[in-house]
Structure 1
Amino acid sequence: MTPYLRIEKPCEESLENMHLVSGGKFCDLCSKKVIDFSDLNDFEIAKILEKAGDQKVCGIFYKKQINRPLHIEKEISYSSRKTTFTSVAAGLVLSASMINSYPAQTIKPAIEKSATLESSKRNSEKEEDKKDNDHFKISGKIVSSNKGTPLSVKVNFITVQKVYSSATDKDGFYSLEIPKEILKYESLLEFVPTDYTFDRKLIIYKIEDLGKKQLVKLDYNRMDMVYGMIDTDFPNASEKSLVIVNGKRLDYKSFNSSYRLYSTRYDVHYIPREYVKFFTSKETVEEIYIVFIKPK
């Protein structure tokens, strides 16, 4: 049977309390290594779990990695019954096609600068100089604290009367202009990331530092990660489960039996309790299995 990667009970011990070891962390509470799977692909994950055999393994994952079957290109030996897909799912075939179209790229020819353009540029520069006399420029770059990668962040210069805002570009750079007349000896800047996995940050700058280009690092809060004991068995549907196969409801017992025999033929989307309300208003339903039969 295809291994279904999940963590039934996430660990409550903080990762910060664990010791850093090669390939992960070591938990003193359990006297056990917690393997970091976050940068591994499905085949690499499966090989580690296969090598562990019946031994329980604790792991660290991104949330997007779990609650799904492992997609393994090469064969991994898991103890399972091998049989032929029969009429249990015959006739239920999901097919889909996608057509991608890309707009043709065009290249604009270079235009020689004329004297008029040069004159316009000089006038523009004079206007910019005049503007700079009245405004103070704040600039810098914002990156992640864990990897140093550029972040998408809204930058706010906060005063009682008004908030002056700007945003980073794709490379993490920001630039913000404020009237010089509102400057004080100390100023408050707020950095609000669009990605919830990084924490908002408030920084007080003295006026002599405010004009310097700043490198701001936002802390990664691990809200997109989960860790704990790994379970590779697919969660059995129960009488409180709603099972939909190719758009039709199926008895949960029939689904459990069929999945264990023909797991490789199913594309299963497991919907836990907190998301059930998006599909049904019935309070008796605690989880949903939306299932499609893969084409042969």
Structure 2
Amino acid sequence: MNNQFSLQINAPCTENFDTFSSTQQGGFCDSCKKEVIDFTRMNTQEIVHYFQANTTQNTCGRFKTHQLKTYDHPIQKRSKLSFISGIGLAFIALFSFGKIQGQEIKNQTNTSDQNTAKLQDTTSQKNITVKGTVTDDGGPLPGANVILEGTTLGVSTDFDGHFEFPEKLKKGDVLVVSYIGFNSKRIVVQNENSAQSISMKVNLKMDSCVLMGKVAVNKVYNSKRN
């Protein structure tokens, strides 16, 4: 019986939550144009209730590390309308998805030739392949995040601390390197060797961690056996 779900953040966000415009449930991020829900102010029951009511939506949230765990759904009895309700939710999810995609695709039919030329010039400058190694005093840091500042585009280091950024960058782009428990680093791209060797320092002042980013909700299936 499916009565559990787990929360995790696969792509942590590098934006500063304290600079967001306040909303009823958190803050509004100007970079991704989305509301970031502040779950650090919620207890366990409130978090469960939120995801029960928002099962068809992608959520950006702010969490304390101990809140990223598995939660139990209250067990509900099946009703005669469950099948019909399921079909209704499926249609709602389908139309909601189509609407979101429609908002994210920019209408370029009225783009002038001048703007198109500028876009091509900017694209042609992105010719730098950035790769390197992230380490601390004890050796390589596997799983460190390397994110292009102001975007959600990034990559994680492998077991040996190595990474290669998935897209070519241009001179002046800024990479933000982060790892839980360490001070983040900003690397300004100048050439292919800009991020060749990145050394991270432990954040001695940090007594707790707060993570922010798109939430991955994974359902946990229990055995039917008693």
Q: Same-fold call, TM > 0.5? A: no
Q: Using CA pairs below 8 Å that are at least 6 residues apart, which structure has the higher relative contact order? A: 2
TM-score, normalising length from structure 2?
0.37
TM-score, normalising length from structure 1?
0.29
- Point out the structure with max Rg over C-alpha: 1
